[in-house]
Amino acid sequence: MKMSSAVEQSLVVLVMLGLQKDGLPVKSHVLSKHLEVSDSYLKKTMRKLGVANIVEAIASKEGGFRLARATKSITLLDVYEAIEGKDSFVHSTQLADRVFPAKKAVETGTQEVLSIIFDAEQDFKKRLKQYSILDLLKLREDGSDGIDWRNYEPQNQTAFV
């Protein structure tokens, strides 16, 4: 299994929006600047998050993106599935069927392996469902009232590494 970088970027964006002062919308070009990614790439990711009702786009001069739901109701599984899809990542190409002559043994072995991987996938998704964006916002316990990303300039660039 390989997870795209868009999942990590989405989590960072959602934490940024969760920390956004007064919940004001943040434009995609501001987010992409802080993430140091292409704005067009980030817009595609944000579209997926919008379709999943995780973020909402506000169309206005002061618009941008903001969270569509409370941080406690957005799970890591929601984010993963919004980006990677809900389909199982367990699939067989039937390679063993083409290589080995013992068809019945191959079928049994293939089903056993797929079952093990499917169980692992279910465990993975179960764990992701246990954590929310709110859990990632624990850093806000410093007493700050948020960050206005629209006007924020980092002291040094290593702050985002």
**The pTM is what?**
0.83
Comparison of pLDDT for 149 and 144, the residue scoring more: 149
- Helices 103-129 and 76-84: crossing angle in degrees, nearest 10, is 130
Least confident of 31-40, 61-70, 97-106: 97-106
In the chain, pLDDT over 90 holds for what percent of residues?
60
User: Which residue in this structure is represented by tokens 């049994």?
Assistant: 108
pLDDT of 141 higher than 50: yes
Mean pLDDT rounded to a whole number for the chain: 87
Distance CA 16, CA 27 (A): 12
Does position 82 have pLDDT exceeding 90, yes or no? Answer: yes
d(CA 86, CA 107): 26
Contact in structure between 19 and 146 (CB atoms under 8 Å): yes
What are the pLDDT digits (tens) for 39-78? 999 999 999 999 999 999 999 888 999 999 999 999 999 9
pLDDT at 33: 92
Spatial contact of 46 and 55, defined as CB atoms under 8 Å apart: yes
Specify the 3-state DSSP secondary structure of 64: strand
Residue 128 has which token pair? 């992701």
